[in-house]
Amino acid sequence: MILTHAQAGFVPQAAAQKIDEEYTRLIRQNLQDPRITTELVDHLPASDTVPSPLKFFGRVVGTPGQLTYAKDIHRYYEALARSSPRARFWKIGTTEEGRDIVVLAIADEATIASLDSYRDRLGALTDPRRTTDAQARQLVESGKPIHYILSGMHSPETGGPEMLIELANGQFLSGRAIAIDERLGQGHVVMFAIRPFWRWQTQGTYTLGFNTIMNWNDLDAGR
């Protein structure tokens, strides 16, 4: 994913970044093979205001045998929004099971304050029935792209929602840029969401199902 932009309020790569030493130690402790990581995700930046997953959940993302319920991911997103004017959290609907569907938007402070305006500009840009070519060109120059990151499209896909917990914290609110993908002056908004439908069932059966698949030859079922 290439998501961040220096003009949107993110600290350039060259800037010194304080590291959360305890969180980083646990990341490396849980890592099974150092060949499958990179310098972008092998640590977590420290923040005096933004709560880390370790402080909030009592464990780091990726702790073996631990998955996070959608309702708790939502609570963490809400805590991130309370900790910074660069984030906004809101509910956009409910699933067929009646569970909340939420979004966390992260950008620079000014963009978050005008988020509805940027949303309306993009809406006008996508409707050629009421937007002329000249107006469209103006909207392209004055608007900001919105990157929408949705994870957990299918209930067994357990890794993505966990990853977004850490991505929202470490790569954006803590001010560390991964890469620059927009023209200088444009900026952007990054929106995080997970699909909560059926994730409760996945959480409840994960250990049972995983152990059944991995240890089927040692089961005593039927004896």
pLDDT in tens, 102-158: 999 988 888 899 999 998 998 898 888 999 999 999 998 888 888 888 887 776 778
The span from the CA of 205 to the CA of 211, in Å, is 10
The span from the CA of 84 to the CA of 172, in Å, is 11
Give residue 15's Cα distance to chain centre: 23
Helices of type H across 126-198 = 133-142, 159-166
Q: What is the total residue count of the chain?
A: 223
pLDDT at 194: 64
The span from the CA of 14 to the CA of 65, in Å, is 36
Burial (CB count <10 Å: 0-12, 13-18, 19+), residue 130: exposed
Nearest to 189 by CA among 85, 104, 123, 73: 104
The span from the CA of 44 to the CA of 80, in Å, is 15
pLDDT at 212: 60
The span from the CA of 85 to the CA of 98, in Å, is 29
CB atoms within 10 A of CB 124: 16
pLDDT in tens, 177-219: 554 454 544 566 666 566 565 555 555 555 555 566 655 555 5
